[in-house]
Amino acid sequence: MESRTNMFEPLLETATSYGKTSLELYKLKALNSIGSLLSAAIHHAAVAIILLMFLLFASMGAALWLGDILGEIYFGFFCVAAFYALAAIIVRFGLKQSIKKHTKDSFISKLLNK
């Protein structure tokens, strides 16, 4: 009976070692996925901030230029605001599903490292 116990001990140790190694591998894969997601999110946030700053100054310039053409500066700001309201309506109602699908697919592919 003792020989059977001695025979299963190395098998049990190997299985335990395999389990610990597999758990460590899954932890490292999860950490890699989270790191990839965070780095992509930081990159996208930095690009978005830069684009928003560009858009802000371009909008102010366009509003001042249109106001100069129309005779009153506030007319230019109203025109730019109307443009953004129209763009928001188009994005909200026309592109909502497309944006949601693209964002979800991008998030999942980053999470799975594809």
- Give the pLDDT means over successive 10-residue stretches in the chain (114 positions): 70 86 88 82 92 96 95 94 93 81 78 66
CA dihedral 30, 31, 36, 38 (to 10 degrees): 110
Q: Provide the pLDDT for residue 97.
A: 79
The answer to whether 79 and 66 have CB atoms below 8 angstroms apart is yes
Query: Could you report the per-residue pLDDT of 18-49, keeping only the tens digit for each?
Result: 888 999 998 888 888 788 788 888 988 999 99
Provide the residue ranges of all domains of the chain, joining segments of one domain with +.
2-111
Q: Provide the pLDDT for residue 96.
A: 75
> What Rg do the C-alpha atoms of the chain give, in angstroms?
29
